[in-house]
């Protein structure tokens, strides 16, 4: 079953989060899966396991409490976010397989530019050396996923310094621009969505 790719541009976080919840709540067995490619204005999102003390200081960036797994992260301009609105039961894909497929899509994208990236046990996301380049968080409801993956492309990384990213004090973050990959956030979004579609194609039921 084909996947609808929507390019929503730069959109506020809270209404996008609401739209994902509404889409998932109202979808039926016939609803096509969707990928939403977005950028967000600066925002911290705090997952269900998130502890407010991981926000080290107030730098004037709004905080939204959300229902994905995981801790606090930062979204901002120059970071591409892809939300995966998938019927996992219909695709016959398990959550762990989906996480692995998302990570592999990022690894393959960076690999196309000669950058070696890897997973880290117990810490979802994609890393280049000690530094995190992509963060991942999902929520599954009625067998369907929402939330997704963010890839740091060409952004101001300073807001990460005001938090313990994903709950890890002093976790370094990196972006593709600093790895010598000449992509804009929107170009990275196109390429990452293609990699995701390839990975999901291997898993359809």
pLDDT of residue 204: 59
197: Cα within 13 Å, side-chain hemisphere: 17
Task: Spell out the long-range contacts of 141-144 with Cβ–Cβ below 8 A and sequence spacing 24 or more.
Answer: 141/24, 141/25, 142/24, 143/87, 143/88, 143/89, 143/90, 144/24, 144/27, 144/85, 144/86, 144/87, 144/88, 144/89
Say if residue 72 carries a ligand binding annotation. Answer: yes
CATH 2.130.10.10 at 3-201, yes or no: no
- Structure confidence at residue 153 as a pLDDT band (50, 70, 90): very high
pLDDT above 70 coverage of the chain, percent: 99
The catalytic residue positions are 166
pLDDT of residue 50: 79
Say if residue 153 carries a ligand binding annotation. Answer: no
Question: Is residue 81 over pLDDT 90?
Answer: yes
Contact 60, 159 (CB under 8 A): no
DSSP string, 85-109: EEEHHHHT--HHHHHHHHHHHHHHH
Say if residue 151 carries a ligand binding annotation. Answer: no
Say if residue 75 carries a ligand binding annotation. Answer: yes
């Amino acid at each position: 079953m084909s996947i609808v790719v929507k390019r929503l541009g730069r959109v506020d976080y809270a209404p996008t989060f609401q739209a994902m919840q509404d889409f998932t709540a109202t979808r039926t067995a016939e609803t096509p899966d969707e990928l939403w490619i977005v950028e967000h204005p600066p925002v911290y999102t705090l997952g269900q396991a998130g502890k407010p003390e991981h926000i080290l200081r107030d730098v004037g960036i709004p905080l939204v409490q959300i229902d994905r797994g995981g801790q606090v992260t930062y979204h901002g301009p120059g970071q591409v976010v892809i939300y995966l609105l998938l019927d996992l039961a219909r695709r016959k894909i398990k959550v762990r397989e989906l996480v692995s497929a998302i990570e592999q899509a990022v690894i393959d994208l960076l690999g196309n530019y000669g950058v070696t990236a890897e997973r880290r046990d117990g810490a979802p996301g994609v890393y280049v050396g000690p530094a995190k380049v992509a963060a991942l968080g999902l929520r599954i409801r009625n067998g369907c996923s929402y939330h997704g993956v963010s890839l740091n492309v060409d952004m101001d990384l300073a807001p990460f310094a005001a938090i313990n990213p994903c709950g890890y004090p002093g976790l370094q973050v990196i972006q593709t621009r600093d790895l010598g990959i000449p992509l804009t956030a929107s170009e990275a979004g196109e390429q990452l969505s293609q990699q995701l579609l390839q990975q999901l194609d291997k898993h359809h039921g």
